[in-house]
Amino acid sequence: MLNIEKYGAVDIGSNAIRLLIVTVIEQRDKDPIFKKTSLVRVPIRLGTEVFLHNKISESSANRMIDAMKAFTLLMKTHNVKRYKACATSAMREAANGHDVAKNIEQKTGLTVNIIDGKDEAEIIASTDLKTLIEKDKTFLYVDVGGGSTELTVFSNGENLISKSFKLGTVRLLKGLVNDTVWDEMEQWIKTETNKFKDISMIGSGGNINTIFKKSGRKIGKPLSYFYLSNYYQMMNSLSYEERITQLDMNPDRADVVIPATKIYLSAMKWSRAKNVYVPKIGLSDGIVKSLYNEKLAAE
């Protein structure tokens, strides 16, 4: 007998807001199956105004409320049993972030949890990576968002350490990241990975997912540093408009993909990783996994 339930995860990021609906299929004496059923993405790009003006505008707040109303209805029609909404860099740094979250709850009934960088890194690291995290290998997990980059080192099948840096694609586009942040991340990566002889990287986030999809590689096959570097140079040689028309990228992807790729390449260089695996997971997947673990703990 199978036990089937749907879970919902709302990720309020600095670049976009996402609703992920996952069908969790429980089998007796077997690991549960997490099947992605629906993904809706709205590119509100909160980070643009928050990182510049420290505030979410009334216009963006109203768009968020509309999006949350739509997400709530979608979860209702999907018969979602458990759900959670988490907000990251933009919401936690906005002076009116908590007021906006409170207003969203009043208007939609959806509670928004504003999480810090450490919690974000831990939620992302809780995703099911066992198909990649081999017990005899070491990985640097890099999740690049609009406002921050979350790093986690895995070795011997265990999560050793996580760290969040205020180094995100929207910040970089607006020239809001100084060299000190780059230096801090470089030092952290070198310190935490140099003790290992051989290391690979795992990349997550919409930008690396886009590049991986366009590479034509099968799931489970990595992108090499050489491939990613060449693709970065090719994208850089094109204008924003050409990346939209020639590479068939969404307008809200064609600009942030450049700084995102720079972050991935830098992390690979500093960790000496020759390959990056792209399992297409992120904060939303981590939220679903945490909800499922909470259910098991309650039972």
pLDDT tens across 132-159, in order?
666 678 999 999 999 999 999 988 878 8
For residue 223, the cross-strand partners are 276
Q: If you ran DSSP here, which 8-state letter would residue 218 be given?
A: P
Q: Can you give the pLDDT at residue 11?
A: 96
User: Which domains occur in the chain, in start order?
Assistant: 3-117+287-298 (3.30.420.40), 129-280 (3.30.420.150)
What is the pLDDT confidence band of residue 282, given thresholds at 50, 70 and 90?
Answer: confident
As beta bridge partners, residue 161 has 153
Mean pLDDT of 35-59: 94
Average pLDDT of the chain to the nearest whole number:
92
What residues pair up with 6 in beta bridges, in sequence order? 23
d(C-alpha 154, C-alpha 174), whole Å: 32
Whole-number Å distance between alpha carbons of 5 and 268? 38
pLDDT attached to residue 276: 96
What percent of the chain is modeled with pLDDT above 70?
97
Quick: pLDDT tens for 66-88: 999 999 999 999 999 999 999 99
The DSSP result for 124-146, as a single string, is HHTS--TTT--TT-EEEEEEE-S
Identify which of 56-60, 117-121, 291-295 has the greatest average pLDDT. Answer: 56-60
Considering the entire predicted model, what is its pTM?
Answer: 0.87
AA identity, residue 266: S
Angle 51-56-62 (CA atoms, 0-180°, nearest 5)? 145
